[in-house]
Structure 1
Amino acid sequence: MWSLLGKALLAGAMIAAIAEIGKRLPAMAALIASLPLVSILGMIFLWQARPDAENMARHSEATFWFVLPSLPMFLLIPVMLRAGLPFWLSLGIGCAVTVGLYLAMVQFGPRLGVRF
Structure 2
Amino acid sequence: MLYYVTKVAITAVLVVLIAEISKRSSFIGAVLASVPLTSVLAMLWLYIDTGDGGRVSALAGSVFWLVLPSLALFIALPLLLAKGVNFYLGLAVSIAITALCYWLMVTVLHFYGVEL
1:16-36 Cα distance to aligned partner (Å, 9 max, x none)? 111111111011101101101
Give 2:105's aligned amino acid. M
Contact 2:22 2:28 in 1 (8 A): yes
Partner of 1:55: 55
In the aligned structure 1, how far is the partner of 2:32 from the partner of 2:53? Answer: 28
Distance in 2, matches of 1:55 and 1:8, equals: 21
1:52 Cα deviation (Å)? 2.0
Identity of counterpart residues, as a percentage?
Answer: 34
**Higher RCO, Cα 8 Å, sep 6+:** 1
Deviations 1:85-106 (A, max 9, x none): 0110111011011111111222
The equivalent of 1:38 in structure 2 is 38
DSSP 3-state at the match of 1:12: helix
The CA deviation at 1:65 is: 0.7
* Counterpart residue identity of residue 94, structure 2: G
Aligned pairs for 1:35-114 within 5 A: 35-114=35-114
TM-score, L = length of structure 2: 0.92
Q: Aligned residue for 2:14?
A: 14
Query: What count of residue pairs does the alignment treat as equivalent?
Result: 116
- How big is the alpha-carbon RMSD for the aligned residues of Structure 1 and Structure 2? 1.2
Where structure 1 has 5 or more consecutive residues not aligned to the other structure, the ranges are none
The corresponding residue for 1:5 is 5
**TM-score, length basis structure 1:** 0.92
